[in-house]
Amino acid sequence: MNTIYKILVADDSVTVRNTVKHILTENNENQYRVLLANNGREACSMAFMERPDLIILDISMPVMDGIEAIKKIKSNNQIKFIPIIAMSSTRQFEEAFSAGAVDFLLKPFVEYELLTRVHLNLTLAEKNSEIKRQHEILKNQRQEAINQRDIILKQKQDLIDDLLYARFIQKAILPSDDILSEMFHGYFVYDQPKNVVSGDFFWVAHKNGKTIVTVGDCTGHGMSGALMTMAGTAFLNEIVRNSEEFYADKILNELRKRVIRLLNQKGNIGEASNGMDIALCIFDEPNQKLEFAGANNPLYFVPAGGELEIIKGDRMPIGFYFNNDLSFNKYEISVSKGDTIYLFSDGYADQFGGPQGKKFRYNQFRELITNTSKLSVMQQQNEFIQKTMHDWIEGYEQLDDIMVMGVKW
């Protein structure tokens, strides 16, 4: 018998409520019972009375807005464990995360994204509940060592399965090959997470005749880094979507503000220095111009038939910095057909390996990119970079996520 999941949808728009209900109830793979609320206050009352498995909550609502509703639900010990997906067409996602939401959905949304996020959060909630139940069994019954081992192995496999599904979601959010093929004459992305999910990400967009491409390296790796990549791509989407004119330095300035607000960074002693390093380029095709701004990360530029040029980013992160009023710098270079850029995280250069067990280092990485750029086919460049790292790391543990992206105009 299939499990019937109870989902509470709160939105002051009848159209949005009915649309979400229609999408969920028409899904053939799962069975959902959908409850509808008109505002935040009604959502809190129904959450306490009905105890849904998942809440999808709009941020902007009358009587009680979504932020206050999330805080009220999370302050109630009986219902605070219910996962909440915040839903909005504005820039308030950082507030929702701070209040206690576990995921977000940007309006207008598509059916596939809604179903995927609902399934993912229900699955994670079920796994967490199962892990807690198994933990209580071990704690109370103190089973024999062999049974404990078997349970731990089962939990580990469940966690691996969750991570694999989370990786599927993470890769689905990243730009597809079809999108990249339409934007660039040639490209490759070497993406090698340390664990299943990655704290490195790449992101592209096209608006007003300009193409934006970026590679980011979030603090940490695994699930902590992966969550930051989702926030980073969401923020970049919002910044560009809501800007008619955009520049590389201004985008990084705005991204830094949002990350600081999201992480509630104050600069206190002992505070974790979380955030991200990033390299961002804007290609202005009509004017044959490339803008670049970087937070700790550089741009490697190889003009067609020319030598590698390095454009350094600013030595400050996307996150709290001792001088947050200091703007990122913008660099402009002329580009033409056949020019290639390379964006990357620090994972490649910092990896230990080789015959003496030393770091790969940036001198060797620059030499690698110089040799790689001589290959005319981008896929061949990708294979060359991958093989070099495979041979280098053999016999050693991968220390960090690795990402290298090459784009040819």
**Per-residue model confidence (pLDDT) at position 109:** 84
Domains 1-173 and 175-408 share a fold: no
Sole residue written with tokens 């008619």: 244
Compute the distance between CA of residue 182 and CA of residue 10 in angstroms, rounded to an integer. 38
- In this prediction the pTM is 0.60
The domain spans of the chain are: 1-173, 175-408
Instruction: DSSP letter for 349, please.
Output: T
Q: How many Cα atoms sit within 13 Å of 250 on the Cβ side?
A: 10
**Per-residue model confidence (pLDDT) at position 105:** 86
Residue type, 27: N
**Per-residue model confidence (pLDDT) at position 172:** 65
Burial label for 50, CB within 10 Å (0-12, 13-18, 19+), is middle
| Contact indicator for 249, 313 with CB cutoff of 8 Å | no
CA-angle at 381, arms to 378 and 387, nearest 5°? 145
**Per-residue model confidence (pLDDT) at position 136:** 74
Q: Which two tokens stand for residue 176?
A: 């597809």
| Contact indicator for 231, 262 with CB cutoff of 8 Å | yes
**Per-residue model confidence (pLDDT) at position 231:** 85
Q: 3-state SS of the chain: helix, strand, coil percent to 5?
A: 40, 25, 35
Q: Which fold has domain 175-408?
A: Phosphatase 2c; domain 1 (3.60.40)
- What DSSP line would sit under 54-69, residue for residue? EEEEESS-SSS-HHHH
- Comparing CA positions, the residue from 82, 113, 84, 107 lying closest to residue 97 is 84
Compute the distance between CA of residue 184 and CA of residue 94 in angstroms, rounded to an integer. 32
> pLDDT tens, position by position, for the chain (409 residues)?
467 889 999 999 999 999 999 988 886 566 889 999 999 999 999 999 999 999 999 999 999 999 999 999 999 998 998 999 988 887 677 888 888 888 888 888 888 888 888 888 888 888 877 777 777 776 776 667 666 777 777 776 766 666 565 666 666 677 778 888 888 889 999 999 888 777 889 999 999 889 999 999 988 666 667 778 888 888 998 999 988 888 999 999 999 999 888 888 776 655 556 788 999 999 998 889 999 999 999 999 999 888 999 999 999 998 887 777 789 999 999 999 889 999 999 999 999 999 999 999 999 999 999 999 999 899 999 999 999 999 999 989 999 999 999 999 8
- Distance of alpha carbon 235 from its chain centroid, rounded? 10
- Distance of alpha carbon 177 from its chain centroid, rounded? 18
| Contact indicator for 189, 386 with CB cutoff of 8 Å | no
- Distance of alpha carbon 108 from its chain centroid, rounded? 19
Give the SS3 label for residue 172. helix
**Per-residue model confidence (pLDDT) at position 222:** 62
**Per-residue model confidence (pLDDT) at position 41:** 94
Compute the distance between CA of residue 266 and CA of residue 285 in angstroms, rounded to an integer. 40
Question: Other CB atoms closer than 10 Å to residue 152's CB: what's the count?
Answer: 12
CATH code of 1-173, in short, is 3.40.50.2300
Compute the distance between CA of residue 51 and CA of residue 170 in angstroms, rounded to an integer. 29
Strand segments (E) across 253-319: 276-284, 289-295, 299-302, 309-311
**Per-residue model confidence (pLDDT) at position 108:** 87
Residue type, 200: D
**Per-residue model confidence (pLDDT) at position 291:** 96
